[in-house]
């Protein structure tokens, strides 16, 4: 998932259903549906269902444990579902269905536990389900069934044990709500061009919500074959993981329905199952025998918004077939853009689902970053079709390998589709530098958890964080770099071939990589397992310090707040085995070196006439500090000819220096000195590293007197970049060539406008006037995010109302996103407070966009205290509306607290934690601890550095 992060008649009738098969099942369903219709109510909440509330048994019973017992193993499911796409008499959207699962008894037991959540069952006689033996023999009687709501089980207790080795079938009939909660089998809505509201029935099963669609053994290791049949209105189309086997018409309650049966899936996990009923259109193509289809709202497809995705999917699939040396496992690849979707995308096998902005692209509205988003997310999800879907991790504690791997190879896949972009370089900024900010906290966590640490759905959701995705990606990139990509691929291919259609633990990959290492006689200081355990089983990363005067080199666990205490013990005492690449100035030398102890001496690092640079292209996951003399040499090189230093390392020098200063390894003025050369720098990566780090200074000081001098300094530095792009784009009319150049043009405009370069703000005002006068948007798509923000920031209430109206009428989701974010740039508290209230109204702001809108408002210095008050005042509403498992709570907490740097704000945050302990913080639990730690660190940092920073900006702002 891309961060993106992805339910009777008599027993006699049921026996006939099970014996006769699919047609009989539909007939039985029609009988049930007729009965329900005559009653004028749905199954939901009616007396056909036993109440799920039970007397809580002793906690040591199997049904009080979150993990399934290993006594039963599913083999196959037959699932029939009928979503009703208009509300029933109770104004609820519902779906009805029945399912049967064939399972093997691995160990004699008189208990069947199967996951079920928010499903209401049609009773089979006195019980929720019926049981029969696959061989037609006798089966134990059911003595009791009930729903255990806390642990989300349907419990079937038997009068005598099931026999080891025999196969059984469990059947049930049920109803569920087709809610708009973005989880399980849910409802998405959009308004078509005629103004009619259209309903889509779609799914999001990851991590633990297949059980909301039908009863199932809902754990990744419980792989099975699935045969899905969808019953839907005849003017709708159904799609699922596999191609359609047949479609026929069936009259139910006097209404003609379409019955679409799909081919049976290969062995797969429940969280990868998907089915959608919609009136979407699609574009298709064929790539090496694989049918590729891009689905979306009819107008979006008609306008060609799916064409870019269609064009890149074939090349990316072909790339991964070569990378894995394994053919794409399924006959087709459907990709669907959904109006309402919680994550970025979800890798359902053969039916990948996306937020619209991660799949659809329109050249007339979408920016280069939208295009990059589409190609990287597609590559991420397609990478999973093998790594994650064909071979699946046994349990969620190893999620980092699944998501970290896809987050690494998405750059390789995207590079194969867009070879001119140099997109692989962006991984350093987007993943490595970004996640180091979190991983340098004492409240961080290791990549891999112990299996017993992750049990509940909320705990599983919490694992989907930047450590899993971005640190996982960075560490795997480092591994591939020191092995070489060819050796890495050889081990990877062996791993996939060995475990196809099965489950693994992360150490299985190490075994296959080790075999490739030995086969190719690669020299390493120790085994892959010994090296990588230090990066996966202990949190954080080292700062490597080298002294060029005597060649000494050492490592230490890097903490942003060196006074914080690390409570989590490590078997390796926070020492890593570090692969180091290096080069010197004047081409005096370069090489590779392993730091295996806390400290060492390397004579190659004794240099006095030039500079030494460690961690070339930042392939290693660590920071680098030098003695003052070497820092001076590097700064001198940047000041005379920065191009001698590789562009990624120019970004690294800035990012390392600012973070080392925050952690008190070097003086804050040294870090600021690394930005002096930027007035001559035209490359994106160093500028982006500087702006990211200066943003911390902005957050700490934009409410204080020194921000005036800081703003003047940044204006002075960015004006030459602004002028450069003004010239090469012919006064902003042409688009620069290349991904990085376009990104830096966006930086030039965004920074110039937000820091008050008059010409930039006037450009935005002129664009606004033109747009209002002609109704034709004159702003180039790449510049829209920055220009829209400036329009709202300087244009007052009328500009806000104009942009709001454009947002409401936007037909392209990437355009709507830019407008929605820009609306948070207003400097007026009353407008921002009104906007915050809009986030609670899904008719104004879609539920999937509510938290990101609050985050945008919080990033505005005027909006931040308003957003904090809003979160505190509405925490219970937000929590109940989105559920504790929502992926967005962690980002929400971190966003609204990012400026906290006073004792008073720390007290408020501690009080917020205390006030809401009873309801909890769901997936934001760890983020709250990180926010507290960051706030304490910010308080200390501001106290110690404010005077020096104020003087530096005063000295350099003239």
Residues known to be catalytic: 381
Q: Is the peptide bond before 792 cis (omega within 30 degrees of 0)?
A: no
* 213-to-181, 198, 201, 718 alpha-carbon distances in Å: 13, 21, 11, 54
Residue bearing tokens 């003609």: 256
User: How many CB atoms within 10 Å of residue 500?
Assistant: 14
d(CA 458, CA 921): 10
Q: Tokens standing for 583?
A: 């080069």
Strands (E), 23-93: 72-83
CA–CA separation, 179 and 679 (whole Å): 54
Sequence-ordered list of residues with C-beta below 8 angstroms from that of 129, at least 6 positions apart, any chain = 121, 142, 145, 154, 156, 170, 171, 172, 215
Q: H or E stretch including 649?
A: helix 647-662
Query: What DSSP string runs through 735-786?
Result: PPSSHHHHHHHHHHHHHHHHTT-HHHHHHHHHHHHHHHHHSS--S-GGGHHH
Q: How far apart are CA 826 and CA 828, in angstroms?
A: 6
CA dihedral 326, 327, 331, 337 (to 10 degrees): 70
Q: How many Cβ atoms are within 10 Å of 448's Cβ, its own excluded?
A: 23
C-alpha R_g of the chain: 29
Alpha-carbon distance of 831 to 856, in angstroms, equals 14
* Cα–Cα distance for residue pair 24/608, rounded to 1 Å: 86
Dig out the tokens for 169 from the structure: 């079938």
DSSP state of 54: -
Tokens, residue 538: 């202990």
| 660: three-class secondary structure by DSSP | helix
Long-range contacts: 591-595, Cβ < 8 Å, 24+? 592/482, 594/524, 594/525, 595/544, 595/553, 595/555
Best CA proximity match to 132, nearest among 89, 175, 102: 102
How far is it, in rounded angstroms, from Cα 467 to Cα 540?
Answer: 10
Contacts 24+ apart (CB under 8 A), 729-734: 732/763, 732/780, 732/783, 733/780
Give the sign of the dihedral formed by CA 407, CA 408, CA 413, CA 419.
positive
Element (H, E) at 505: none
DSSP state of 575: -
Spatial distance between the Cα atoms of 224 and 268, rounded to a whole number of angstroms: 5
Q: Give the C-alpha separation, 416 to 407, whole Å.
A: 15
Which DSSP letter does residue 241 get?
S
Which residue, 403, 304, 945, is CA-closest to 666? 945
| 243 and 312 Cβ atoms separated by less than 8 Å | no
Helices and strands (DSSP H and E) totals, the chain: 29, 29
Cα distances (angstroms) measured from residue 595 to each of 472, 476, 542, 543, 582: 21, 18, 11, 12, 12
User: Residue holding tokens 């196969």?
Assistant: 167
State the sign of the Cα–Cα–Cα–Cα dihedral 797, 803, 806, 810: negative
User: Is residue 842 classed exposed, middle or buried when 0-12, 13-18 and 19+ CB atoms within 10 A define those classes?
Assistant: middle
User: Which residues does 113 contact at the CB level (< 8 Å), separation at least 6?
Assistant: 62, 63, 68, 69, 72, 153, 154, 155, 156
The Cα-based distances of 654 to 583, 586, 590, 634, 799 in angstroms read: 18, 21, 21, 11, 37
């Amino acid at each position: 998932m891309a961060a993106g992060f992805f339910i009777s008649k008599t027993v006699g009738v049921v026996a006939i259903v099970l014996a006769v098969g699919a047609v009989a099942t539909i007939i039985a369903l029609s009988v049930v549906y007729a009965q329900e219709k005559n009653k004028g109510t749905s199954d939901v909440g009616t007396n056909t269902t036993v109440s799920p509330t039970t007397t809580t048994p002793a906690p040591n019973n199997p049904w009080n444990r979150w993990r399934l017992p290993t006594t039963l193993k599913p083999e196959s499911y037959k699932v029939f579902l009928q979503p009703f796409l208009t509300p029933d008499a109770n104004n609820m959207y519902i779906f009805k269905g029945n399912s049967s699962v064939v399972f093997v008894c691995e160990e004699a037991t008189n208990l069947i536990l199967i996951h079920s959540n928010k499903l209401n069952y049609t009773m089979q006689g006195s019980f929720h389900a019926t049981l029969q033996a696959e061989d037609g023999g006798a089966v134990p009687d059911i003595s009791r069934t009930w729903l255990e709501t806390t642990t989300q089980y349907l419990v079937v207790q038997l009068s005598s044990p099931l026999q080891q080795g025999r196969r059984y079938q469990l059947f049930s009939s049920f109803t569920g709500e087709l809610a708009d909660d973005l989880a399980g089998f849910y409802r998405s809505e959009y308004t078509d061009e005629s103004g009619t509201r259209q309903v889509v029935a779609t799914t999001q099963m990851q991590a633990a919500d297949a059980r909301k669609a039908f009863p199932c053994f809902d754990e990744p290791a419980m792989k099975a074959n699935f045969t899905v049949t969808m019953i839907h209105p005849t003017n709708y189309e159904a799609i699922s993981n596999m191609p359609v086997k047949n479609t026929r018409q069936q009259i139910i309650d006097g209404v003609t329905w379409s019955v679409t049966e799909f081919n049976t899936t290969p062995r797969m996990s429940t969280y990868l199952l998907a089915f959608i009923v919609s009136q979407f259109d699609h574009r298709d193509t064929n790539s090496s025998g694989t049918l590729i289809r891009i689905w979306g709202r009819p107008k979006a497809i008609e306008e060609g918004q799916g064409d870019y995705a269609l064009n890149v999917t074939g090349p990316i699939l072909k790339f991964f077939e070569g990378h894995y040396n394994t053919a794409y496992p399924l006959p087709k690849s459907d990709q669907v853009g959904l109006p309402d979707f919680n994550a970025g995308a979800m890798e359902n096998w053969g039916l990948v689902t996306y937020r619209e902005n991660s799949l659809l692209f329109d050249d007339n509205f979408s920016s280069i970053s939208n295009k990059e988003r589409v190609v990287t997310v597609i590559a991420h999800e397609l990478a999973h079709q093998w790594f994650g879907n064909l071979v699946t991790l046994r349990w969620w504690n190893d999620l980092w390998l699944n998501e970290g791997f896809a987050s690494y190879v998405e750059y390789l896949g995207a590079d194969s589709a867009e070879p001119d972009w140099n997109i692989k370089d962006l991984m350093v900024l987007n993943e490595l530098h970004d996640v180091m900010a979190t991983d340098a906290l004492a409240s961080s966590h290791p990549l891999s958890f112990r299996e017993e640490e992750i049990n509940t759905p909320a705990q599983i959701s919490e694992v989907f964080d930047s450590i899993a995705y971005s640190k996982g990606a960075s560490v795997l990139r480092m591994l591939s770099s020191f092995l070489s990509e060819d050796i890495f691929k050889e081990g990877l291919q062996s791993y996939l071939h060995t475990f196809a259609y099965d489950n693994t633990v992360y150490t299985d990959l190490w075994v296959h990589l080790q075999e490739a290492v030995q086969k190719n006689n690669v020299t390493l200081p120790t085994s892959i397992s010994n090296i990588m355990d230090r990066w996966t089983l202990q949190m954080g990363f080292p700062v490597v310090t080298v002294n060029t005067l005597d060649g000494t080199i050492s490592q230490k666990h890097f903490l942003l707040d060196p006074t914080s205490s690390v409570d989590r013990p490590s078997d390796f005492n926070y020492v890593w085995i570090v692969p180091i690449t290096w080069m010197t100035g004047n081409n005096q030398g370069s090489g590779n070196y392993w730091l295996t102890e806390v400290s060492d001496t390397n004579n190659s690092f004794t240099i006095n006439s030039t500079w030494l640079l460690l961690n070339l292209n930042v392939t290693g996951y660590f920071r680098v500090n030098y003695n003052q003399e070497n820092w001076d040499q590097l700064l001198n090189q940047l000041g005379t000819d920065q191009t001698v230093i590789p562009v990624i390392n120019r970004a690294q020098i800035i990012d390392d220096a600012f973070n080392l200063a925050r952690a008190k390894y070097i003086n804050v003025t040294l870090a600021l000195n690394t930005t002096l050369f930027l007035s001559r720098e035209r490359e994106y990566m160093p500028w982006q590293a500087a702006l990211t780090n200066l943003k911390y200074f902005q957050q700490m000081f934009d409410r204080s007197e020194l921000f005036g001098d800081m703003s003047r300094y940044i204006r002075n530095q960015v004006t030459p970049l602004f002028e450069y792009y003004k010239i090469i784009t012919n006064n902003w009319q042409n688009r620069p060539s290349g991904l990085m150049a376009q990104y830096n043009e966006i930086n030039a405009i965004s920074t110039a406008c937000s820091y008050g370069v008059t010409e930039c703000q006037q450009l935005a005002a002129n664009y606004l006037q033109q747009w209002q006068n002609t109704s034709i948007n004159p702003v180039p798509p790449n510049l829209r995010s920055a220009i829209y923000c400036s329009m709202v920031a300087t244009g007052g209430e009328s500009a806000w109302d104009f942009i709001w109206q454009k947002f409401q009428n936007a037909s392209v989701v990437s355009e709507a996103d830019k407008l929605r974010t820009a609306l948070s740039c207003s400097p007026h508290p009353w407008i921002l407070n009104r906007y915050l209230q809009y986030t609670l109204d899904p008719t104004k702001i879609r539920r999937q966009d509510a938290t990101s809108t609050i985050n945008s408002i919080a990033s505005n210095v005027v909006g931040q205290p308003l957003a904090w008050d809003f979160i505190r005042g509405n925490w219970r509403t937000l929590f109940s509306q989105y559920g504790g498992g929502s992926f967005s709570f962690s980002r929400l907490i971190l966003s609204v607290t990012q400026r906290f740097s006073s004792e008073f704000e720390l007290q408020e945050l501690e009080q917020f934690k205390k006030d809401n302990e009873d309801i909890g913080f769901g997936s934001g639990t760890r983020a709250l601890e990180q926010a507290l730690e960051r706030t304490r660190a910010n308080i200390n940092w501001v106290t110690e550095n404010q005077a020096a920073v104020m003087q530096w900006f005063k000295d350099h702002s003239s």
